[in-house]
């Protein structure tokens, strides 16, 4: 009985520590509401609505200083409405939230004009260029193509503003997760997170993840490259995977890619052959299959998103061959079998299930 109770206490303590970190890792909307004279307005009801929320909207009320804050908002487009009896209603549409950015939306309900946005969004409603407000926190890049194009692990692609010390050709280095650096920093300062919670395995200062998430289970990848605050232990690249939720409609996606030796060139020149290089490192075969599916279990109550990834890769190891004398116990020398190059094989598997549950209904 004591063992069971101890396990329950450990789970509760873990959730208490985990939930604040997850909330901090999501976007938020904040601001001040004033009247036409500039006096603050307490008691104003502020609603942030979006299809990205399972409960459809989040509500806050301005305090005695006229301030409000709505936290832990999923990526998506939001509408913010300010309502107070005796004043005109102010509505602000098309507020795009991504990553852990903070949007500052102030309002003046007495005049009825649209709330003034002090936060320059990284991408405006017309698809303009990305901008950043230094007051909103660290500099952060958002990759919305995560589910079908870009990944910082084993696809040969990296993120804007960072460099990689791992040479990867078309995903050939399966299992050799890419080290990302910025501003000349150390690769060991990199941190990888899911919803703000570190997934490092304490290998090499905890900068690498044992099981990075499948990209078809990720809605966005937020990459911080500067502006570190006191809550971050290191100054390197922070890669935050924001998981994808299901929704009230069933949806799915499928990503498949592959390659073989005939699809890759090499740089084996005459000079290299003269130096004794008989064969370069090349892909033998590589496959990446990543299906995903999600939708409602109970509409507006419980959503699910399920994803699977299978990623085997086999490479020829450059200038390494089997030994022709391996079966001859009387032979003491190595004789390369040029018809049998050495190979290295890695297999990456990932199965994930995410449930989004609205435990209570706001009254």
Task: Tell whether the model's pLDDT for residue 68 goes beyond 90.
Answer: yes
- Dmax (CA) of the chain: 100
| β-pair partners for 343 | 316
C-alpha 193/C-alpha 180 separation (Å) is 14
Q: Of all residues in the chain, what percent carry a pLDDT higher than 90? A: 17
pLDDT digits (tens, 9 = 90+) for 161-209: 566 666 666 566 654 456 777 777 777 778 888 887 888 776 656 666 6
User: 211 or 330: which carries more pLDDT confidence?
Assistant: 330
pLDDT digits (tens, 9 = 90+) for 278-296: 888 888 898 989 999 999 9
- How far CA 226 is from CA of 139, 159, 160, 200, in Å, comes to 5, 14, 13, 20
Lowest-confidence segment of 49-63, 119-133, 155-169 by average pLDDT: 119-133
Task: Tell whether the model's pLDDT for residue 304 goes beyond 90.
Answer: yes
Torsion angles phi and psi, residue 181, rounded to 5? -130, 160
Q: Identify the pLDDT of residue 123.
A: 32
**Residue holding tokens 């395995």?**
201
Q: Identify the pLDDT of residue 18.
A: 44
Sign of CA dihedral 148, 137, 161, 156: negative
pLDDT digits (tens, 9 = 90+) for 349-358: 889 999 999 8
Across 39-43, 85-89, 208-212, which has the greatest mean pLDDT? 39-43
Which CATH number does 2-134 carry? 2.60.40.1120
Q: Identify the pLDDT of residue 203.
A: 63
Question: By the 8 A CB rule, do 94 and 76 touch?
Answer: no
Closest by CA position to 234, among listed 276, 200, 210, 265: 200
Task: Tell whether the model's pLDDT for residue 305 goes beyond 70.
Answer: yes
- How far CA 347 is from CA of 103, 150, 262, 267, 291, in Å, comes to 41, 19, 21, 27, 17
Residue 135 binned pLDDT confidence (cut-offs 50, 70, 90): very low
pLDDT digits (tens, 9 = 90+) for 245-283: 998 999 999 999 898 888 888 888 889 888 888 888 888
Report CA Rg, the chain.
Answer: 26
Q: 56: phi > 0 → left, psi -120 to 50 → alpha, else beta; which?
A: left
pTM here? 0.67
Task: Tell whether the model's pLDDT for residue 13 goes beyond 80.
Answer: no
| β-pair partners for 83 | 45
CATH 2.60.40.1120 domain range(s) in the chain: 2-134
What tokens appear for 304 in the block?
A: 């699910």
């Amino acid at each position: 009985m004591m063992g069971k109770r101890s396990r329950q206490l450990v789970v509760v303590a873990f959730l208490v520590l985990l939930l604040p970190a997850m909330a901090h890792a999501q976007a938020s909307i904040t601001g001040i509401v004033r009247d036409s004279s500039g006096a603050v307005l307490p008691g104003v009801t502020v609603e942030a609505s979006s299809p990205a929320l399972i409960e459809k909207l989040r509500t806050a009320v301005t305090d005695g200083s006229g301030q409000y804050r709505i936290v832990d908002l999923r990526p998506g487009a939001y509408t913010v409405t300010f309502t107070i009896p005796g004043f005109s209603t102010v509505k602000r549409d098309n507020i795009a939230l991504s990553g852990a950015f903070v949007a500052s939306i102030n309002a003046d309900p007495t005049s009825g004009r649209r709330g003034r946005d002090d936060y320059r969004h990284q991408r405006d409603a017309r698809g303009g260029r990305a901008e950043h407000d230094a007051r909103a926190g660290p500099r952060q890049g958002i990759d919305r193509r995560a589910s079908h194009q870009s990944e910082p692990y084993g696809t040969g692609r990296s993120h804007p503003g960072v460099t990689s010390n791992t040479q990867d050709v078309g995903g050939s280095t399966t299992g050799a997760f890419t080290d990302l650096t910025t501003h000349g920093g150390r690769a060991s300062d990199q941190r990888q997170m899911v919803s703000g919670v570190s997934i490092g395995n304490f290998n090499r200062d905890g900068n690498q993840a044992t099981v990075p998430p499948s990209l078809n289970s990720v809605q966005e990848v937020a990459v911080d490259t500067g502006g570190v605050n006191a809550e971050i232990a290191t100054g390197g690249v922070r890669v935050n995977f924001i998981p994808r939720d299901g929704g009230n409609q069933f949806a799915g996606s499928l990503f498949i890619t592959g390659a073989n030796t005939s699809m890759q060139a090499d740089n084996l020149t005459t000079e290299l052959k003269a130096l004794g290089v008989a064969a370069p490192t090349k892909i033998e075969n590589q496959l990446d299959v990543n299906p995903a599916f999600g939708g409602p279990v109970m509409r507006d109550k419980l959503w699910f998103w399920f994803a699977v990834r299978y990623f085997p890769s086999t490479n020829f190891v450059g200038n390494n061959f089997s030994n022709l004398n391996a079966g001859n116990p009387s032979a003491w020398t190595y004789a390369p079998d040029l018809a049998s190059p050495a190979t290295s094989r890695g297999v990456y598997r990932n199965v994930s299930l995410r449930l989004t549950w609205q435990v209570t209904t706001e009254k």
